[in-house]
Amino acid sequence: MIKTTASSALTLFLSFSHSLFAATTADLDTLVIEAERPLQTNPVHSNTQDKLAPSADGGDFLRSLNGVSGVRMGGHGIDPVIRGQSQTRLNVLLDGAFVQGGCPNRMDPPTAYSPPDSYDSVTVLKGSQTVRYGGGGSGGTVLFERNTAALTADKPYRGQVSAGFKGNSDTRELGADVTAGSTQGFMRGIAHWSAADDYQDGASQDVRSAYSAQSGTLIAGYTPNARTRAEISLENTREEDVLFAGAGMDAPESEHQAVRMRFKQDGLKAELYYSDVFHVMDNFSLRTLEAQCH
């Protein structure tokens, strides 16, 4: 008797709910829901001018971005890590040019030759998403880019000067970026200098991390109209007396030279570059046998 009553009540409820639902939906007007696309976390794009503290190099700057870490043997030459992958599993392009470090011990990864103040933006593509920037890159692709906007007749020049200081290790940096010309073309000069002493750990012990680095870039551009652009650039980056606490050697001298040419018109784009790296490492120029034992 109880089961029959419960079953009858349930049947009556479902029948009533169905009738109510049918009547309700029949009276509703068409409903349209609009929403913004969710924020994309990949790629990660950053303006290099937004950095809050001096960065030793591009690898040090990348560590401030979400999802990127770094391997550090000293104060300079931080090797980026994306999704647990590093070294040759990352494609690093410096303004369109592939750069390969000269040290088998990774004292000078490509990002060591990319002072952030010398670039306008950095984009991180996590994982292997595209072959647009070359094969490989299973961990990701990092793009250090310069985007020189065409000048106008009202303001045929622009420029900025930057400076920074970090207390522990007395890291200092100076930079200048000047562009001048006309609506038909421009010349852009970029210079950057940074230096640091050894930093002190929590026990007030000096840790080998001093370095000195300087770079200079000259870009000539031809911009006859909004659809056409031709550029040629010369770049030189030099590091001296780079100390590494986490390696058995130091780098008395490293140098990178690059020449880039590019042309864009409507949908056509062509790029050509030459890159050369010179790297010296030893265990006697910048340390003593006593320092090595420690």
Mean pLDDT split into 10-residue runs, the chain, 294 residues = 43 47 53 45 61 82 90 93 91 92 91 93 86 83 93 94 90 96 97 94 92 97 95 97 92 96 94 95 86 47
State the DSSP code for 195.
E
Q: How far is CA 215 from the centre of its chain?
A: 17
What is the tens place of the pLDDT at every residue in 189-246? 999 999 999 998 989 899 999 999 999 999 999 999 999 999 999 999 999 999 999 8
CATH of the domain at 286: 2.170.130.10
Query: What pLDDT, on a 0 to 100 scale, did the predictor assign at position 43?
Result: 66
In a domain, 27, yes or no: no
Please give the residue range of the domain that contains residue 215: 44-293
Query: What pLDDT, on a 0 to 100 scale, did the predictor assign at position 13?
Result: 44
For residue 46, CA distances in Å to 10, 121, 151, 293 come to 60, 6, 23, 42
Query: What pLDDT, on a 0 to 100 scale, did the predictor assign at position 131?
Result: 77
Question: How many Cα atoms within 13 Å fall on the side-chain side of residue 275?
Answer: 17
In a domain, 102, yes or no: yes
Cβ proximity of 139 and 84 under 8 Å: yes
Query: What pLDDT, on a 0 to 100 scale, did the predictor assign at position 292?
Result: 47
Report strand pairing: 206-207 vs 199-200: antiparallel
Rg (CA), the chain: 28
Handedness of CA 131, 134, 139, 140 (dihedral sign): negative
In a domain, 156, yes or no: yes
In a domain, 207, yes or no: yes
Query: What pLDDT, on a 0 to 100 scale, did the predictor assign at position 28?
Result: 57
In a domain, 196, yes or no: yes
Query: What pLDDT, on a 0 to 100 scale, did the predictor assign at position 127?
Result: 85
In a domain, 269, yes or no: yes
In a domain, 215, yes or no: yes
Query: What pLDDT, on a 0 to 100 scale, did the predictor assign at position 49?
Result: 60
Query: Which are the contacts of 109, defined by CB distance < 8 A and separation ≥ 6?
Result: 59, 77, 78, 79, 80, 87, 92, 101
In a domain, 8, yes or no: no
* Total domains in the fold of the chain: 1
Query: What pLDDT, on a 0 to 100 scale, did the predictor assign at position 10?
Result: 44
Question: How many Cα atoms within 13 Å fall on the side-chain side of residue 294?
Answer: 10
